[in-house]
Structure 1
Amino acid sequence: MNINIDIPKNPALAIKMLMNSGYEAGVVGGCTRDSIMGIVPNDWDICTSATPSEIQSVFKSFKQLNIGLKHGTVVIIIDDEEIEITTYRIDGEYSDGRRPDEVAFTRNLIEDLSRRDYTQNAIFFNEFQGIVDPFNGISDIKNKIIRCVGNADKRLKEDALRILRGIRFASKLGFEVEEATKIAMLENKELLSNVSKERITEEFVKMLQGKNAVNILDEFKEIIAYIIPETKAMMGLEQNNPYHVYDVWKHTLAALNNAEGLILKLTMFFHDIGKPSCHTIDKQGIGHFYGHAEVSFKITSEIFKRMKITGAEGVNGKDLKDILELIKYHDTIIEPRKKSVKRMLAKLNGNREQFERLLSVKRADVLAQSPDKLINSLKKIDAIETILNEVLAEDACTTLKDLAITGKELIDLGVPKGKEIGIILNGLLESVIDEKIQNEREELLAEANKYLENK
C-alpha cells in the first residue's frame, strides 16, 4: 500500500540498526494510526522480530533500560530520547482479565498484530516493506470505525481496559464503534471490576475531552453508570421544570458540550449529580431540586476520592479544589449589582480566574436549559461580568487581606487571641462589602470598638 510515514531520526535509526542486523522492525500502534490520519504522534512504538537479548546485543553500545523485559520490551537511549522496542509476541491466557499470564516470542509479524486490540492499532510500517495491514485498519480509519481485531468478545475478555480505550478512541477521534464491538463492550462491562481505579479514571478523563464525547457518553451510558454508579439515577430523570427541556442526564451532557477545558468539563459532568437525591414535585407538578449544588459537591468529593482522580493526566490537587468549589457555587444566585458581585468574590477568596470560571459554568448551564429563558439569562451573566471587571478595576475590598486593619490591631484594642479575632474581622469585611462602612483604618477600628462595647 502506497502510504509513507515520516519517522523521526532516532526511531528511524533504531529500526535501521535492527534491519541491518538481519531482523524485521518497524513502527506500530498509535503512531502509525495518527500518522495515517495526519496527526503528529506523541511517541513512536517499535516492534521487531529480534528477541529481547538480540535487541540488547544490537544496541550494546547504547544505554538501556531493562524495565519491560518480561513482556519483551527493551528501552534504549539515543540522544537522551527513550525508544521502546518490543519483540513480536503471542499472548497467553488472560486469567486476571487484564494481562497475559505469559507471553511467547515469535518471528511472525502477523501473529503479533493479531493479538492487538483494535484494527487501527494493528498497522505496521517501515520504509522498506511499506504498510502491513492484515485487519483492514486503514479502511476502518477512513470509514471512521472502531473495530476489534478478530473476535470482539474474546478481545475484550482478555483485557477489560480495552472497553474504555475503545470508547475513548471513539470520543477523541469522532469515530463510531461497529456493532459487534459495541455489543461486546456492553456485555462485558462488569469485567471493568478487574481494572484499577487509576486506569479507569485516566481513560474517563481523556474520554471527556474528546470532540465526540457527548454522543459517546450517551451511547455508552450503561458503561459510564457502571464505573460511576451515581450517574445511573440521573438517566431518564425528568426535571418537570419550566427552566428545563432535558432530563438530568441529557442536560448534563448538553452542559458538558458547552464547556471548554478539562476543569470546566469535569465541573459540568458532575455539577448536577446530586439532583436525584434532592428531587421533589410540588402541588402544581413542578419539579424542584433544592440544595442540589451542595449535595453534588459532597457526592463529587466522594467520587473523586474513590476514583483517585488526581492521578489522571492534567488533574492536580488545586484543580480538584477549584472544580469542587465551582460545583458548590454553580447554582448560587448572583445579581448584577456590585454588592452581590463582591459577596461572591469574597466567597471565592478574591480569585478572579475562579469567578470567571464560575460565569463560564453558569453560561454552560444556561445554554443547556430551556431556550425561551436563554436570552435574559445570558444577558444577566454578561452584566455580572461587566460589574466584576469594574469591581476589580476599583481594587475593592473583598477579602480579609484587603482590610485596612489586621488581627494585630484588634489585639492592641484588647481583643483576646483566638476565634474572636476572626469573627470580628469577618464581620468588618461583611460590613465593607455591604457598603455600611468604608475600608479605612480609623472607621474599622471604631466599628471594632463598638463590638467590644456591646459584648
Structure 2
Amino acid sequence: MDGVYAVALPQAAAQLIGVLNAAGHAAYAVGGCVRDSLLGRTPKDWDICTDALPEQVMAAFQAYRVLPTGLKHGTVTVFAEGEGYEITTFRKEAGYSDHRHPDAVAFVSALREDLARRDFTMNAMAYHPQEGLKDYFGGVADLRCGTIRCVGQPAWRFEEDALRMMRALRFAAVYGFTIEAETARAIHACRRLLSCVAPERLRAELDALLCGAAVEKVLLAFPDVIFTLIPELAMAQGFNQHNRYHAYDVWTHTVKSVAAAPQDITLRLTMLLHDVGKPLCFTRDASGVGHFYGHPAAGAQLARGIFARLRYDRATAMQVERLVEQHCRELPPRDKPMRRALNRLGEVGVRQLLAVKRADIKAQAPAVTEERLLTLCQVERCLDEVLAQGACFTLKDLAVSGKDLLELGMQPGPDVGKTLKALLEDVLDGRLENEYEALLETVKKATE
C-alpha cells in the first residue's frame, strides 16, 4: 500500500475488544495508534472506542482492574497484561467557548459520528481485528501521500481546539508530511487562538516539533505561528546581517541552524534562541559591515523570559541560557583554554557548546563553513586529548584534598577552600603539575 502497512494490534488490545464484543458492544482501536501502526511505527499506547456507556464498560470488565479516569467524557481505563488501555464511549462534542475544550459532550451509537469530531484524517481511523479498517474520511489516502488534512472545515477544527494547530506542525516536522493547503491557510488565519492554550501544552508541542527531522521545512513555512508563541523572534525575519559570514537573514540562519543540530531538545532550543538578541544589538561600521556586539548576553536574557512564559523546567532553561550566552565564545584548540572551558562547563557542557558551534557554522555562508568546521574538528581533538590525559579541571580532580591540607597542619576554616582553589588555578594554567607531592610542597612553602 505504498508505504502504509497493516495494523499490528497487540494481543491485549484485541482481547479487550473481544470482551466488549462478547457483551454485545461495538469496539475498535482508534486514533493515533492506528495511524502509527499503518505507518510501521510502534504506537506509544492503544486507545479503544466503543458504543458501550461507561457503566457498561465497567460491568463488562469486572474481572479486570478498572479505573474511572474520565467518566464525564466517557473514558474508563482497563488494565490488561500490565498496560492501561483507555476505553472511551463514542461521542460528539458541542460548544468550545475556551477554544480548547468542549462545553458539552453527548454519547452516540455510531462510530462514524465519533470519528467525525477528530482533528485530522490520519487520526480519524478505527480498526477491528475481524472487520478491518474503518476509514470514512480518506485517512489512508492522506497517509499514502504524506498529507495532514483536517476532518471537515479546518477553521472550525482550530476554533474548537487551538492546540490542533501546533499538533499539525508537530506531525509535519516529525513525519515529514505536508500540511494540505486549506488546512495551512486556516492555521495562519487562526494562529492568534494559541493564546487560549496552556503554556505547558504549547511547550510540549514545540519541543516535539523542534526535534522533528523536517523541522526546517515547517519553521520556514509557519514563522508567524512560531512568533505567536515567541514574539521575541519576529524581528529576526528578513533582518539582513550585512556580514560576509552570513548568506541568510537572521531567521533563515536560525532555522537552518536548528535543523543542523542533533535532535536533542536542549541543543535545538539553543539554536532556536541563540541569535534572538541580534536585532537588538545590530550596528554597522564605516564600511557598512554589520556587527552584533553583546548579542549572546542579550539573547540569554531574552531566553530567560521566554522560558518563564512557556513554563520550562529550570534545569533546561539554565542549560540553554548558558549555551546561548557562550555560543560565540572563542575556544582555541590548546590545552590551557580547553582546561579552562572544562572547569567552567564540564565535559558535557563543552561537548554541547561544540555541537552548538557546529550547527551555527553549518547555517552560515557556504564560503566560510569549510574552514570553520576544520578548526572546530581541531578543537574536538584537543578536547579528547585533554580528557585522555586525565587532566585536572575541577576541585575533585585535584591530587590533594581538604583532608590532606588539614593533616599538613592547616586549621579548619575558609582558608582550606581558598588554598584548594588557588592550587586548581595553578594547575589549570599549567604552573603546577597535578601531583600529590608537588601540590603539598607548594602549600608548605606558602605557609612557612
Q: How does the TM-score come out when normalised to structure 2?
A: 0.92
Q: What are the superposed Cα offsets for residues 122-179 of structure 1, whole Å, 9 maximum, x if unpaired?
A: 1122133222211111111111111111111111101101111111111111111112
Q: Distance in 2 between matches of 1:410 and 1:373?
A: 51
SS of equivalent to 2:41: coil
Q: Which amino acid aligns with 1:381?
A: L
Q: Which amino acid aligns with 1:58?
A: A
For 1:293, the equivalent position in structure 2 comes to 296
SS of equivalent to 2:43: coil
SS of equivalent to 2:393: coil
Question: Are 1:3 and 1:131, in contact at CA under 8 Å, matched by a contact in 2?
Answer: no
Where do residues 43-58 of structure 1 align in structure 2 (5 Å cutoff)?
Answer: 43-58=45-60
Q: Which amino acid aligns with 2:184?
A: K
Q: Distance in 2 between matches of 1:434 and 1:176?
A: 54
For 1:125, the equivalent position in structure 2 comes to 127
SS of equivalent to 2:239: coil
Deviation at 1:40, TM superposition (A): 2.0
Q: Distance in 2 between matches of 1:185 and 1:248?
A: 24
Deviation at 1:423, TM superposition (A): 5.3
For 2:100, the equivalent position in structure 1 comes to 98
Q: Distance in 2 between matches of 1:59 and 1:222?
A: 48
- Aligned pair in 2 of structure 1 residues 403, 87: CA closer, same or farther (>3 Å)? same
Q: Distance in 2 between matches of 1:295 and 1:399?
A: 29
Deviation at 1:427, TM superposition (A): 4.0
Q: Which amino acid aligns with 1:11?
A: A
| Aligned residue among 306, 319, 325 for 2:322 | 325
Q: Distance in 2 between matches of 1:125 and 1:3?
A: 13
Deviation at 1:299, TM superposition (A): 2.0
Matched, 1:179 2:174: no
**Residues 155-164 or 428-437, more deviating:** 428-437
Q: Distance in 2 between matches of 1:450 and 1:244?
A: 54
Matched, 1:224 2:265: no
Q: What are the superposed Cα offsets for residues 420-448 of structure 1, whole Å, 9 maximum, x if unpaired?
A: 66555444433322223333456556666
For 2:281, the equivalent position in structure 1 comes to 278
Q: Which amino acid aligns with 2:394?
A: T
For 1:394, the equivalent position in structure 2 comes to 389
Matched, 1:341 2:338: yes
Q: Distance in 2 between matches of 1:440 and 1:133?
A: 72
Question: Are 2:14 and 2:129, in contact at CA under 8 Å, matched by a contact in 1?
Answer: no
- Aligned pair in 2 of structure 1 residues 244, 4: CA closer, same or farther (>3 Å)? closer
- Aligned pair in 2 of structure 1 residues 227, 452: CA closer, same or farther (>3 Å)? farther
Q: Distance in 2 between matches of 1:284 and 1:447?
A: 53
Q: Distance in 1 between matches of 2:419 and 2:300?
A: 29
Q: Distance in 1 between matches of 2:341 and 2:439?
A: 22
Q: Distance in 2 between matches of 1:421 and 1:296?
A: 38
Deviation at 1:245, TM superposition (A): 1.1
- Aligned pair in 2 of structure 1 residues 408, 282: CA closer, same or farther (>3 Å)? farther
For 1:429, the equivalent position in structure 2 comes to 424
Q: Distance in 1 between matches of 2:301 and 2:427?
A: 31
Deviation at 1:36, TM superposition (A): 1.7
For 1:314, the equivalent position in structure 2 comes to none
Q: Distance in 2 between matches of 1:148 and 1:367?
A: 36
For 1:378, the equivalent position in structure 2 comes to 373
SS of equivalent to 2:320: helix
Q: Which runs of 5+ in 2 are unaligned?
A: none
For 1:114, the equivalent position in structure 2 comes to 116
Where do residues 30-45 of structure 1 align in structure 2 (5 Å cutoff)?
Answer: 30-45=32-47
Deviation at 1:347, TM superposition (A): 1.1
**Residues 318-327 or 205-214, more deviating:** 318-327
Where do residues 140-289 of structure 1 align in structure 2 (5 Å cutoff)?
Answer: 140-262=142-264, 263-289=266-292
Q: Distance in 2 between matches of 1:40 and 1:282?
A: 55
Deviation at 1:89, TM superposition (A): 0.4
Deviation at 1:104, TM superposition (A): 0.4
Q: Distance in 2 between matches of 1:245 and 1:306?
A: 32
Q: Distance in 1 between matches of 2:72 and 2:98?
A: 17
Deviation at 1:223, TM superposition (A): 0.7
Q: Distance in 2 between matches of 1:161 and 1:379?
A: 43
Deviation at 1:406, TM superposition (A): 4.3
SS of equivalent to 1:104: strand
Q: Which amino acid aligns with 1:43?
A: D
Q: Distance in 1 between matches of 2:198 and 2:336?
A: 48
Question: Aligned residues: percent identity?
Answer: 41
Q: Which amino acid aligns with 2:246?
A: H
Q: Which amino acid aligns with 1:63?
A: R
| Aligned residue among 353, 357, 361 for 2:352 | 357
SS of equivalent to 1:100: coil
Deviation at 1:272, TM superposition (A): 1.7
SS of equivalent to 1:309: coil
SS of equivalent to 2:76: strand
Q: Which runs of 5+ in 1 are unaligned?
A: 311-316
Q: What are the superposed Cα offsets for residues 79-99 of structure 1, whole Å, 9 maximum, x if unpaired?
A: 222111111101021111111
SS of equivalent to 1:204: helix
**Residues 423-432 or 187-196, more deviating:** 423-432
Q: Distance in 1 between matches of 2:358 and 2:445?
A: 43
- Aligned pair in 2 of structure 1 residues 428, 155: CA closer, same or farther (>3 Å)? same
Q: Distance in 1 between matches of 2:389 and 2:216?
A: 41
Question: Are 2:5 and 2:37, in contact at CA under 8 Å, matched by a contact in 1?
Answer: no
Question: Are 1:99 and 1:158, in contact at CA under 8 Å, matched by a contact in 2?
Answer: yes
Question: Are 2:410 and 2:416, in contact at CA under 8 Å, matched by a contact in 1?
Answer: no
